[in-house]
Structure 1
Amino acid sequence: PQVPQVPRLPAEPMAPMPPAQPVTPASAPQATGRSLTVRLISEDLQVRGVQGLPAVRVVRGQSSVRTRQDGQNVEVESRLTAGEFHGFSFSLGFGNDGEPVELEVPVDMSCELKTVSGNITVSDITGDVVVRSVSGDVDASSMAHLSSAQATSGDVDLDKCLVDGDVISKSGDLDIRNSTVRGMLKSYSGDVAVLNTVLNDTDVLSFSGDVSLERVTVQSSARLKTTSGDVRAELDQHDVMVDVETRSGEASIRGPGVDVEVQRQRIPVGLATVELSVHTGSGDIEVRLT
């Protein structure tokens, strides 16, 4: 005889599952401190000051760097680093460029930024800032206290910066705009161009490059000097003591009540309340006072 089948109860419908919640990405790593030191190799570096930000934030390039706290100093270092050489981090292998590194920092943080071959872009910081690259370019804007900006073979470009120190490139060009400079602008073989800027007790030097000033105001004094390059200075003022000297070139000075061509002369123009000294070895000099 057949065994009677036990009737099966109908399966209950499954309760609908709630939709999966979207995964919130982890916030960028942050580190608190009063100063920041960055040492990179081939990675490009971008640092931007942000009002109200309480800590350093790694926005991009987390995989390229190591971050650590040393007292009140935040240190960000390339993962390619193998040691130190003349104040720069270096690696035995430069084959693989790291991901570009982007940092946001409190606006009043002091920063020391160094790269070997990467470019450096820094902006909107009121704290003391030092920038240095070997073969990368340096681009700084809206800086309230730039103590030093140096590149060995790269260009240095400054816009809306208050410079109290040295801006130097060995073989690159210097381009300074809409800034105030107290200190030294120097390029060994590159050109130096200064536009719409105040020079306050400033030396502007180039060995074989040209020096060009346009819509510049001198406070106290400015000294322009080249070995073989030309110098052209257009000032937005005319009460200037002009001291020019060229050994084998020509010097022309034009302004209210003066229009001369000389090789070596000291000429007071107007009240002569500030001094502009222009010297070159074999180049020409052109001074325009408005």
Structure 2
Amino acid sequence: MSVDFSGDELVVDGEEESTFCSKHTGRPLRRIKIGLIAQTLQAHRSLLLKMRRAEHDGISSADDKGNVTGMWKIINSSFCCQGEEHSPEYYHEILMEEQEELQIDCLLIDDLILRPYFYEEEFDCDDLSVKSRIMVTPDQDARLRMMMKDDGYFSVVRRGINEDPREMRFSNTILWSRHGNKFKYELILVDRSYDERDRPLARLFQPQMSRMQSAVAAQAEMVEAMLETMVTRKYLTEGDVAEMRKKAAERVWDRRREFFEVRDIDDFMNPQPRLTWD
């Protein structure tokens, strides 16, 4: 395997290779530490520029025949300067980890099968979060909304990435949009273990914000239920009020859901740049 950090004034100063287990798939991946010596200031600056580009674009490795053998990401890098003032040498140490191309076949949430057209996942320590966008039919939409209302944890399998089920929940913010008789959703799923960690920022504006959202949604439904009853019966009783409160409690989730409707999820998440003048 070769990794191209080519340069006339670069010297390879050692290479160490080890393996680690992928958090995403469970497959073994490689970790490489490379030592390089830049023999001039120009070579040192050129190498820093290459590493900066590689941190953004990634690095590919190839065998002797030029076949790509892996994709890599720079995890850490450092350097020090040694030698005389007029002829210093720059010793670089670069730590890289092999990367995977994650291809999701489908998301299995309990018994609901969803096929994302956009998918990404990441780990915070050992806690997984998933972001995906899906287009669903009315039947799938009804099932999905019932699961969201449940506000609990579900068994989630990422088919094509890892067959092991994880206990996850839906994020509180779920963007959606209408498209004819179908619906787009941006689903964010979070590991149960993430909720069990002590996260001070997660408690910011809580529980006030969640309670305020629920109260506003409940009041809106209360007004709607009151108007319906007044039109139908022409008067109000205590029983009517109790029934209105019951309906408001049952419908509060649907009203909160409307707060997250957008014209089109893809346009909302990838806005076009606009020119502005002050």
Instruction: Work out which of the two has the higher radius of gyration on C-alpha atoms and give 1 or 2.
Output: 1
Same fold (TM over 0.5): no
Q: In proportion to residue count, which structure has more helix? A: 2
Q: TM-score, normalised by structure 2?
A: 0.24
Normalized per residue, the structure richer in strand is 1
